[in-house]
Structure 1
């Protein structure tokens, strides 16, 4: 029912854009309509079996892969905002097995399970492919966000342990690669984690989003994910803010994270937002800090002494 009303809303937006002869708004509304209709078609299909049928001899299709890419960040001058995303072709002309039925889907991506060589992965592709050039741009944006998130998580863990040598904190992001299919489509792949794949990983938890929400369980807020976001802002000298901190907590102070989002300080000269829908720029930073309250870990690292964006400083865009 919610999708139905969302679709009707987009149709009204489309009609308004046509009347106003606003070509950009018309294009965006049409794309949203196609995406929502694709989501509705997915909703009518059966999802893959759970638990995963990794050892089944049926339900798989062979996918031809032109190139398998891996990524890392280089910091030529040691500064955030000028880092370079480096890609390496790990393999060419290979194939993998992908489940026929989708595993899950969200607002923009559909998820399948696949077997790549001897590794079990989840693969994400866009519900509505937008052409090879734009899909490649989005795949690179995803890779960049993962590499930045890994860098921040590693530095955060190190900083906490420098202040608290006895700390058992472990925080990492999952490995994410990109497969360029022979058909021209791109798949972002990740490790399989969570209770559906490994009971000891525990349930999926979302600690904050890319706006002003954070998980508050009857007055209890996990300090580490919130402090990680604040740390990324200070560590990058206000270039980035890592948000959408989510994943699994197998044990106390142990975090396995996935699907990061970042806001880029587009007020600084030469900085542009990361392509896609999740980077809300300086305004996104303002929204986060409007709700953020520094906790014990923020104070341990001295983050509470750093300048933070104030909502009233917003500049109309």
Structure 2
């Protein structure tokens, strides 16, 4: 029994252990199931959270995409509007350029027409003693024109006739003056001469009405550049001042009351650019010719009275007049191909409907002005001992307000308002005598003692006092500043086109001398540059054909294009490609001083300008290339000069890729000349709105800096003392940030 009980107990214990194990296993399984459920729940929660987060992220991304798309669309619309605006501006600018070219094309043709035509007047005594000469003139006129036309086929010819007799006591049987006006129908003038009767008046005396004939000839419709009057006569004018007959042989010994004096008439022929030829038949006209020569020649003009003595040999009339007319044509074109003032002044030009006797000197010299007569002393300067004293001076300078911003075509009409001026006190020494005299100014050595700069001071030949001298000097400074601004943009465009050629204009300041008299109180002052000065063009169309001139000509052409026809820079001269003393012709005229000829000056430039390789590389368009070609052909024929406009030479010079003399520029601070050897560096600087300076000024700028406190925020900022001192500008009082808030600009 005990064994059974023990067995039962063991069985029960075993069952209990089994139950415990089963329960534990079940609990473990339940725990596992619970854990699995929990893990599954957590996973579902995480999935839901992730899904929610992903949905939210998708929504956020979609929102961002929508925002970006809208921003892009807005930016695109803005860009489109801006591009459309730029397109409209570019379209307007191009239209302005096209209209300006079209506008002056007719004027250019007029200049070429005037320059390639000839006006000839036969002025003859038609009294009885001149019968053979009248017949010869009638016979020979067409032959003369034909002979000259054979040599100069590109020219147009007009002729006129002025026949004269004398005043009569009674009723005149014939006209005292017989006039055939200018016409290209030479045969009609010839027929008019044939109709002249060689008749003496009712109350004859020795003199004839020469003064009346000269007045009538001056009153003709002269319109050509070549102007010649051939005077044929065997008697002097009225007035004992013009002959040796005595008062008894002259009905008007003091001249006829209606006559203009011969002296005045002679000067008028000169001023109108009319060349005067006289066929001398006898000695009775000698005294008259002496007076005529005295008042016709001189006054800085190249004209000479051309007297040909033929005596009674009227058969020599045709060859001599033919030669005189050919010489007249040649001399006209020679004057057009020269730069000196006297030559250009002798060429006629119509400005504002008024006939003026001088291209190059229009508004450059007024003969009625009092002229200075200073002793010129050509010797090397001793810079530390110039003159006999140190003088006080005030230095005036111009600065472009636009900073790094280039002017658009539409802004050039207000260019004068784009500059600000500043002034600073200094001391100088000036040479006692000028070292040179040019066509418009005296040049003297000057040293700025405070800045230690070698300079040249220029004073006009005319005695200008008070405000006129100040205005004259400041107009020059403004012109130079505008040309300097244009040159910087021109250089960028030439370099970008692969043309390794640059132009530069020196800085010009105006110095005021308070201790000097009014006539010397204001002078333009510029850097002293050693080298050979050359004149490449003047202010009325003349252009040199030597090396370097084509770069100056293309710059002039480009300035007209760049400003939409508002202005053109001409009268280019200097050392190499560093220029000074330019003249600007503006659309308004007289905007840039008295030498600003306005539209007429522009027309004369293009009438003689043939586009070269630089022009073509820059995409410049000539307003009327055919007219300019006609002018060039006429000049070639007249001068037998095959060197004019040699395209091969120009192309080599224009495309030379080696940095050299045509890569010189003027230091923006001290004014010295240096060569740009790294064009990429130059272009990089210019794109940043910076200018290159010489090594000396660069070192001085790095060394000569200081810190000043901003007058507005108190923060200290660096100031380049050398820059502001050399520029003549006041040092800034505000830091860059404060100035930027007010829309200003500063410089490190």
TM range (shorter): 0.7 to 0.9
1:291 aligns with 2:584: no
Q: Which has the higher contact order (CA 8 A, sep 6+)?
A: 1
Report the alpha carbon displacement of residue 52 of structure 1 after superposing the two structures with TM: 2.0
C-alpha distance in 1, partners of 2:581/2:386? 30
C-alpha distance in 2, partners of 1:307/1:238? 11
C-alpha distance in 1, partners of 2:601/2:548? 21
Report the alpha carbon displacement of residue 141 of structure 1 after superposing the two structures with TM: 0.9
Number of paired residues?
260
C-alpha contact 2:610 2:625 (8 A) present in aligned 1: no
1:63 aligns with 2:391: yes
Deviation string 1:285-313 (CA, Å, 9 cap, x unpaired) is: 11111111111111111102x646998xx
**TM superposition score normalised by structure 2:** 0.32
Query: Pick from 76, 79, 82: which aligns with 2:414?
Result: 82
Deviation string 1:37-60 (CA, Å, 9 cap, x unpaired) is: x3xx32xx2x234222224x4643
1:54 alignment partner in structure 2: 383
C-alpha contact 1:113 1:121 (8 A) present in aligned 2: yes
1:143 alignment partner in structure 2: 477
C-alpha distance in 2, partners of 1:63/1:85? 32
Query: Pick from 572, 585, 589: which aligns with 1:263?
Result: 585
Tell me: CA distance 1:287–1:225, structure 2 relative to 1, closer, same or farther (3 Å). same
Report the alpha carbon displacement of residue 7 of structure 1 after superposing the two structures with TM: 7.4
C-alpha distance in 2, partners of 1:7/1:50? 26
C-alpha distance in 1, partners of 2:556/2:569? 5
Tell me: CA distance 1:85–1:127, structure 2 relative to 1, closer, same or farther (3 Å). farther
C-alpha distance in 1, partners of 2:538/2:460? 21
C-alpha distance in 2, partners of 1:80/1:150? 14
C-alpha contact 1:96 1:114 (8 A) present in aligned 2: yes
Query: Pick from 367, 381, 387: which aligns with 1:32?
Result: 367
C-alpha distance in 2, partners of 1:226/1:144? 21
1:91 aligns with 2:424: yes
C-alpha contact 1:7 1:33 (8 A) present in aligned 2: no
Deviation string 1:12-53 (CA, Å, 9 cap, x unpaired) is: xxxxxxxxxxxxxxxx9x9624434x3xx32xx2x2342222
Query: Pick from 526, 545, 549: which aligns with 1:190?
Result: 526
Which of these two proteins has the greater Rg computed from alpha carbons? Answer: 2
Q: For structure 2, list consecutive stretches of 5 or more residues without a partner in the other structure.
A: 1-293, 302-362, 628-748
SS in 2 for 1:303: coil
Tell me: CA distance 1:7–1:168, structure 2 relative to 1, closer, same or farther (3 Å). closer
1:134 aligns with 2:451: no
2:590 alignment partner in structure 1: 273
C-alpha distance in 1, partners of 2:512/2:623? 42
The structure richer in strand per residue is 1
C-alpha contact 1:80 1:236 (8 A) present in aligned 2: yes
SS in 2 for 1:91: strand
SS in 2 for 1:276: coil
Give matches, 1:169-184, under 5 Å. 169-182=501-514, 183=516, 184=518
SS in 2 for 1:134: helix
Tell me: CA distance 1:301–1:168, structure 2 relative to 1, closer, same or farther (3 Å). closer
Report the alpha carbon displacement of residue 162 of structure 1 after superposing the two structures with TM: 1.2
C-alpha contact 2:494 2:500 (8 A) present in aligned 1: no
Tell me: CA distance 1:284–1:62, structure 2 relative to 1, closer, same or farther (3 Å). same
Tell me: CA distance 1:50–1:230, structure 2 relative to 1, closer, same or farther (3 Å). same
Q: For structure 1, list consecutive stretches of 5 or more residues without a partner in the other structure.
A: 9-27, 196-202, 250-254, 267-271, 312-317
